[in-house]
Amino acid sequence: MRIAIVNDLSRAVEILRRIVLDSALHKVAWVARTGEEAIQKCENDIPNLILMDLFMPGMGGVEATRRIMYASPCPILVVTATMEDHAGKVFEAMGHGALDAINTPMMGSGEGARKSRDALLKKIAIIEKLSLNSQASPTKRQSMGAPFAKVSSLIAIGASTGGPKALADILSRMPANLSAGIIIAQHVDGEFSAGMARWLDGQSPLTIRLAEEGAYPARGTALLAGKNDHLVLTRNLNLAYTREPVATPFRPSVDELFKSVAAHWPSMGIAVLLTGMGRDGADGMKMLHRVGWHTIAQDEATSVVYGMPKAARDLGAVSEILPIDRIAPAILRRLSAF
């Protein structure tokens, strides 16, 4: 892959350059020290991937990501040393189209430096696989039992590229006394899922927290997948995590969540597939559609990347195709009809 580096710190640039070149699989396309410079260089030479810092003189990584994804869209991975202290900025960048985020690798030859280098290369390999396999075009029954009594209606949501902002839009429009429970699979490294849950919780009247092993869906609560394993609904109607399928490059998998819900949830519900690269969630949404669920896909105009919703549309798995600002009202209308 041809990888661009956007960072104003010489030491960070050197670390990233060495990792890219030492891998023997990639090369450095160009280096930019500011967001403005990155936008200009991307207009003339779109790389296969950008390693984007968050904080730089002048324009930061969030705005640079937004403008690049609008004018010269390409895969962007946030690489910053300020991840934990600025989780909101990370998810803003992901809302504008950044695929994922990771801490800047450490300098040196010790075990910690090796692990951080390997973690970055693993992220790059996953993004490369997603890019190669993507069909996306970037754009401007068990018995109900006691657990089911806790919530009679379920909303299942899947998202990837651009998902944090889309999720915030939907969840911010939900009432605190929502009669349904919500479960969410968003492609994000488990290391950052707790920060994302806190960020979303601050923008919604609902209670938003990580889905714990064994938790049950609950009224007025959104449970976010919180590990690199796949979140699934079990036959006992509680949530669990599974490593299988191991080969799936996107984790947690929306397909695995949707398919498990189709297999075990004992009544109808609503499934929503939001912006994202590739086709994860399309097959699972098809299964939910077949068993009578109401399925909603985000439209092309408001998707950062129109891959996952398009794949579901092409499968005939979608009841409605809506812009992001109309999805929450559609969910509430549908719930009132149940």
Do 308 and 274 touch, CB atoms closer than 8 A?
A: yes
Q: Is 187 a catalytic residue?
A: yes
C-alpha distance from residue 30 to each of 5, 51, 293 (Å): 6, 11, 47
Do 5 and 17 touch, CB atoms closer than 8 A?
A: yes
pTM of structure: 0.80
Residue carrying structure tokens 């937004």: 66
Question: Please, what is the Cα angle at 14 between 65 and 74, to 5 degrees?
Answer: 25
Q: What 3-state DSSP class applies to 290?
A: helix
> Residue-wise over 49-75: b if at least 16 C-beta within 10 A, else e?
bbbbbbbbeebbbbbbbbbbbeebbbb
Q: Which CATH class is domain 145-337?
A: alpha beta
Do 145-337 and 2-133 have the same topology in CATH? yes
Do 138 and 304 touch, CB atoms closer than 8 A?
A: yes
- For each of the chain's 338 residues, which pLDDT tens digit applies? 999 999 999 999 999 999 999 888 899 999 999 999 999 999 999 999 999 999 999 999 999 999 999 888 999 999 987 666 677 888 889 989 898 888 888 877 788 788 888 889 988 988 887 776 554 444 433 333 335 435 779 999 999 999 999 999 999 999 999 999 999 999 988 778 888 999 999 999 999 999 999 999 999 999 999 988 999 999 999 999 999 998 887 889 999 999 999 999 998 899 999 999 899 999 999 999 999 999 999 999 999 999 999 999 999 999 999 999 999 999 999 998 87
Q: Is 299 a catalytic residue?
A: no
Q: Exposure of 214 by Cβ count < 10 A (0-12 exposed, 13-18 middle, 19+ buried)?
A: exposed
Q: Which of 72, 134, 153, 160 is catalytic?
A: 160
The dotted CATH code for 2-133 is 3.40.50.2300
Do 268 and 290 touch, CB atoms closer than 8 A?
A: no
pLDDT for 146 equals 36
Q: Is 42 left (phi over 0), alpha (psi -120 to 50) or beta?
A: alpha
Q: Which of 53, 134, 153, 187 is catalytic?
A: 187
Residue carrying structure tokens 């590739």: 278
Q: Which of 280, 289, 294, 299 is catalytic?
A: 280
Dihedrals phi, psi of 144, to nearest 5 degrees: -60, -50
Q: What 3-state DSSP class applies to 194?
A: helix
How long a stretch of residues is the chain? 338
Q: Is 109 a catalytic residue?
A: no
Could you state, in order of their start, the residue ranges of all structural domains in the chain?
A: 2-133, 145-337
Q: Which of 109, 108, 97 shows the shortest CA–CA distance to 63? A: 97
CA 338 to CA 330: how far, in whole Å? 13
CA 138 from centre of chain: 15
Question: Please, what is the Cα angle at 46 between 1 and 72, to 5 degrees?
Answer: 135
Question: Please, what is the Cα angle at 70 between 67 and 75, to 5 degrees?
Answer: 85
